[in-house]
Chain A
Amino acid sequence: MKLGVKVDVSKFNEAMESVRTSKNSMVFVEMAGAQVLINGQRTLVPVDTAATKASIMSHYATKSAKLIVDEVGPETDYAPAIEYGRADLPNYPMQPFIRPAARQGFTKVIRAMSMRFAKLIIDSIENSKENVL
């Protein structure tokens, strides 16, 4: 008696060709990763008045069907001093949060965007089937 698995990928290329990306769909994918970074920065940021924490958000530099550039970070004027210290005060107690959040969240960002992109592909394939039927 044999046990086996049969994998039929004969329609795979055809299905992938039916996937079409748009600016909105790419933003949908990217937002998942951006939210991981936002959450990470908000967790690690030092808090006094919480102004820097509240200002952490996405800042889209480019949005298109092929390229999304999003700069995720705070907007307060003194955020660079928190992250890098102050040039005039060598002993200023820098408390980095942007770089640690990026390093610690790297894998999660990739995974979050991959899952969103997989959903996009599946939805696109399902929609193309409906059109055919």
Chain B
Amino acid sequence: MADLEASVRTFALQDTDIATAFGERFYIDKVPDKPGYPFAKMSQVDNDQAWTQDGDGGRTVLLQVDVYDDDKASCNSNADFIRERFKGYKGQMGDINVGRCWSRDVRGEWAPDGRHFRRIIELEVGTND
């Protein structure tokens, strides 16, 4: 299967609101030092489970997108852009053919040590590849 995380990132940044908010600060797995706000980090939580002992696992991948900002309202709105971008999407996402895509908010919090807000979005991407 093609690089799903890269395809998801590219697809996200094709959205005008997301590109305007984050620019290139949409990272995969690792965030550079002092990236500037807002920024997002995407990590893969679980693999595609193509096949398990029970048979076809359905090929859905679970991704976690963390949105960081020093302003609460901005953090919430940027997270909503990402959630809306992926909610219910079905079609081509880069090199990946997506059968269905779900997004949901998990939790949000203020980090006193980091002095920023974080919102977590879970993306469940079902691929046909």
> Given A96-B46, A99-B46, A100-B46, A87–B109 Cβ distance below 8 Å?
yes
Please name all residues of chain B whose beta carbon is closer than 8 Å to the beta carbon of A90 when the two chains form the complex.
31, 39, 41, 66, 68, 114
Residue pair B114, A104 in contact (C-beta under 8 Å): no
> Given A99-B45, A104-B46, A84–B114 Cβ distance below 8 Å?
no
Q: How far is the CA of A91 from the CA of B54 in the complex (A)?
A: 35
Q: How far is the CA of A90 from the CA of B120 in the complex (A)?
A: 12
A86, A103, A108: the one contacting B62 at CB < 8 Å is A103
Across chains A and B, the number of contacting residue pairs, with CB separation under 8 Å, is: 49
> Given A96-B45, A96-B46, A103-B46, A88–B111 Cβ distance below 8 Å?
yes
Residue pair A107, B68 in contact (C-beta under 8 Å): no
| Distance to closest chain B CB from A89 (angstroms) | 7
Chain B residues 29 to 84 lying within 8 A of chain A, measured CB to CB, are 30-31, 39, 41, 43, 45-46, 49, 52, 54, 60, 62, 64, 66, 68
Interface residue count on the B side (C-beta < 8 Å): 26
Interface residue range, chain A = 10 to 19
Dominant secondary structure of chain B at its interface with chain A: strand
Q: How far is the CA of A101 from the CA of B114 in the complex (A)?
A: 30
Interface centre among A84, A85, A99 (most CB of B within 10 A): A84
For the complex, is B3 an interface residue (Cβ under 8 Å from A)?
A: no
Residue pair B111, A87 in contact (C-beta under 8 Å): yes
Please name all residues of chain A whose beta carbon is closer than 8 Å to the beta carbon of B54 when the two chains form the complex.
107-108
Q: How far is the CA of A91 from the CA of B34 in the complex (A)?
A: 12
Please name all residues of chain A whose beta carbon is closer than 8 Å to the beta carbon of B113 when the two chains form the complex.
88-89
Residue pair A103, B120 in contact (C-beta under 8 Å): no
Residues in A lying within 8 Å of B, measured CB to CB? 84-91, 94, 96, 99-100, 103-104, 107-108
- What are 7 A-B interface contacts by the 8 Å CB criterion? A87-B110, A87-B114, A88-B113, A89-B113, A90-B31, A99-B46, A100-B46
